[in-house]
Chain A
Amino acid sequence: MDQLNRSLQRRAIVFVLLAALGLAIILCTTIGPAGIAFTDVLAMLVRRVPLIGSLIPRGEWPANYEVIIFQMRLARVVLAALVGAGLAASGVVLQGLLVNPMADPYILGISQGAALGATVAMLSFGGTIIALGIYAVPLAAFLCGLATSIIVYHLARVGNRMQMSTLLLAGIAAGLFLSSITSYLMISSGQNAHQILFWLVGGFAGRGWDHVKILLPYILTGYFLMHLYARQMNIILLGEEPAQHLGIDVEKMKKVLLAAATLTTAAAVSVSGVIAFVGLIIPHAVRILAGPDHRVLLPASALTGAVFLVLADALARVVAAPEEIPVGIITALCGGPFFIYLLRKRNHPDF
């Protein structure tokens, strides 16, 4: 009956987190300067659900409230959830593959590459929009992030094998190199420096359904690929050779997972900037609470990452209202101390 209990437990954890995410999305959609009541938001949302939607009567709210909720707030909250899920899941995968507790989605230079791309895009277009419209910065960030990681992967390839320790070092070296270029561009850019910094810290200000549409396919495909390998990821923690002896095609697995994590992260960064700590602390926190089994760890981390970033973004909107602070500052502010707390509290030698 072991396995029955276990799969029940797995499902229970995922179900609870899913409910939490739903709640967080609704709750955070109500937050904002327009003071729309929670019940009204709930009614508006349920009315959009097919079949049961027609059962709910339209409330007394002004027509522009629906525009605020659906066109602005909901899109932003959903985007935060997707980015949080993508970063946390990628963090789980990279920590597992690199067998390194300090690994996060940015460790392979993706963020620094994306930052440079975004910086160049913002400077060349003066921050205003030309042919590519709002896609200019995300596209540049996405491509440069991807290009960086591809270069890093090639540096770490020895024959047919991907050397994970070299990968880590190559990622760090490439990251340092690129961020020095970004820093130079920022310093010499004068007035634009503020705008670039705002993007670098990461946030969702002014993002909408367009960004969700860009991101969604990457998150879904990336997560699907990662989840395919959930059981195998447990085994690779024993080491690459032992995993191969258990019948796993390790090189193929590494390639697929790195590609999935890279695409997911590059896409997330391209729409939100470099949001710190989510991909590092969420996997650790969930591992401590739910154990090391990736069949739970992966979905639970993705959901927890989504909840966390949705809440952090809400905080970013209200803390200094009507001004908004970048969500990356909130995540780092919450994340740092929380991480230290976890490290001090844990009593086993794992990560």
Chain B
Amino acid sequence: MPVILKINDIECSYGAIKVLNGLSFSIGSGNFTGIIGPNGSGKSTLLKSLSRVLKPSRGTVLLDKKDLYKMETQEVAKKMAVVPQETAINFPFTVKDIVIMGRSPHLGRFQNEGEKDYAVARQAMTLTGTLHLEDRAITAISGGERQRVIIAKALTQEPEIILLDEPTSHLDINHQIEILGLLQQLNREKGLTIISVFHDLNLAAQYCDSLILMKKGAIFSVGEPSKTLTVDSIKEVYGANVLIRKHPVSGKPSIVLLTRKTQTCSRNGRIHVVCGGGAGAPLLGLLTGEGYEISTGVLNAGDIDWETAKVLNIVVIDETPFLPVSEQKHMDNIKLLADIDVCILANIPFGWGNLKNLEAVSFAQSLSKPIMIIEEQDIGERDFTDGKARLLYNNLKAKGAFVVHDEAAALKQLQNLL
């Protein structure tokens, strides 16, 4: 892949404040690159220096091996188009008027747009799905449509590179996906080089071939999303605690934010939660937030509660997917119960596969551990074991298990118990 843009040790300042500090990297032709980093890390400044708006005080930017700042403005505009975050247009130009402005770099001073120019503009509008808007006023269409029109204008320049500054940050998620999908399509099918600043790390990870992660005006790391976006790099650059998972469909890294509470509280108390099928996930989150030490089991691997527990770094006794709880795992579970302070039973249905978990709760009760039951539905409606589960369940209640009706009440009760 030939290099189309080469940045060589550039330094940019606004007055006395140095915003970019000795950056070097190169971008291959046909690449989809994302620039990420926290506010004030210099993302937009970098984009400005790449788009010939802010001349670096040191270093060079080479576009196709030519010094960008020694090229004519018009020459640059034939190779590079820029899509800003938002374009405020207060004049009732039609969509067609705006898109055809993209031909400007190709026209002489006294030249008006010809049939060929209109053909290019029409093609760009077709690609971006804005052809039906061509006679509408730019002031009378939605934000998502307007951004697509601006992209159509950029395509009408017939550039080799498109630079974008958070092109979707003002848009709804459906438009975000639509516009990034469009850019990806242009990148894959037309070989367009795309460089975009992203605010949203998940979008950046989804669509970019490579990411430039910036910190305080310098490059922190460059590379594939899976290499640049790690728990440690985000902790280091953004100062935020996150979890990185694989996107269930694309397999790209997907970032889960942890609430501030997850990071600060710490309470004493070991709690075992019996759950499954997603019934325990909110409780696991809440308990983690409160800072308790938590374990759970037995859960089938891949179950939603299992995933949540894994994400939250909770101790899990797990069973092979789709298999009933085996004797072995049941014993592991019971071993855990010896050391706990409270056992919580979530509002889950019982079948032959997980009946053993209910037995485990009974066992905990026999060790005189306090038992708490979250009951949202009558046990009769969620017993699929011909009454066996109901019997065990009612026994728990009869022997003094605390019954609450939601997670908040459970937390309150827990504070009384510990």
The residues of A with any CB-CB pair to B shorter than 8 Å are 2-3, 7, 99, 228, 231-232, 234-235, 237-239, 241-242, 244-249, 291-293, 295, 348-351
> Which residues 46-102 of B have a CB within 8 angstroms of A?
51-53, 72-78, 80-82, 84, 87-93, 96-98, 101-102
> Closest CB-CB distance, A249 to chain B, in whole Å?
5
- Considering the complex, give the chain B residue whose CB is closest to the CB of A287: B91
Please report the C-alpha to C-alpha distance between residue A237 and residue B51 in the assembled complex, in whole angstroms: 19
For B104, the chain A residues whose CB sits under 8 A away are 231-232, 235, 246-248
Contact of B77 among A237, A245, A291 (CB under 8 A): A245
Looking at B77, B78, B114, the one whose CB has the most chain A CB atoms below 10 A away is B77
> Closest CB-CB distance, A349 to chain B, in whole Å?
6
> Closest CB-CB distance, B163 to chain A, in whole Å?
8
Given A7-B112, A247-B74, A247-B77, the answer on whether A238 and B101 have CB atoms closer than 8 Å is: yes
Would B73 and A249 count as touching, CB distance under 8 A? yes
Please report the C-alpha to C-alpha distance between residue A201 and residue B186 in the assembled complex, in whole angstroms: 60
Looking at A232, A234, A247, the one whose CB has the most chain B CB atoms below 10 A away is A247
> Closest CB-CB distance, B52 to chain A, in whole Å?
7
Would B139 and A235 count as touching, CB distance under 8 A? no
Please report the C-alpha to C-alpha distance between residue A244 and residue B77 in the assembled complex, in whole angstroms: 8
For A242, the chain B residues whose CB sits under 8 A away are 82, 84, 87
- Considering the complex, give the chain A residue whose CB is closest to the CB of B54: A241
- Considering the complex, give the chain B residue whose CB is closest to the CB of A349: B139
Contact of A3 among B75, B114, B140 (CB under 8 A): B114
The residues of B with any CB-CB pair to A shorter than 8 Å are 51-53, 72-78, 80-82, 84, 87-93, 96-98, 101-102, 104-105, 107, 109, 112-115, 117-118, 137, 139-140, 157
Please report the C-alpha to C-alpha distance between residue A241 and residue B72 in the assembled complex, in whole angstroms: 15
> Closest CB-CB distance, B154 to chain A, in whole Å?
9
- Considering the complex, give the chain B residue whose CB is closest to the CB of A232: B104
Please report the C-alpha to C-alpha distance between residue A2 and residue B337 in the assembled complex, in whole angstroms: 80
Given A244-B73, A247-B76, A348-B137, the answer on whether A237 and B118 have CB atoms closer than 8 Å is: no
Given A3-B114, A237-B89, A237-B90: 6 more A-B contacts, CB < 8 Å: A234-B93, A245-B82, A246-B101, A247-B73, A348-B92, A348-B139
Please report the C-alpha to C-alpha distance between residue A287 and residue B374 in the assembled complex, in whole angstroms: 69
> Closest CB-CB distance, A234 to chain B, in whole Å?
7
Would A246 and B88 count as touching, CB distance under 8 A? no
Would B102 and A246 count as touching, CB distance under 8 A? yes
Would B90 and A234 count as touching, CB distance under 8 A? no
> Closest CB-CB distance, A251 to chain B, in whole Å?
10
Question: Can you list 8 A-B contacts (CB < 8 A)?
Answer: A3-B112, A231-B104, A238-B89, A246-B77, A291-B92, A295-B112, A348-B92, A351-B90
For A2, the chain B residues whose CB sits under 8 A away are 96, 118
> Closest CB-CB distance, A219 to chain B, in whole Å?
21
Please report the C-alpha to C-alpha distance between residue A324 and residue B76 in the assembled complex, in whole angstroms: 58
For B109, the chain A residues whose CB sits under 8 A away are 228
> Closest CB-CB distance, A189 to chain B, in whole Å?
44
Would A292 and B91 count as touching, CB distance under 8 A? yes
- Considering the complex, give the chain A residue whose CB is closest to the CB of B76: A247
- Considering the complex, give the chain A residue whose CB is closest to the CB of B52: A244
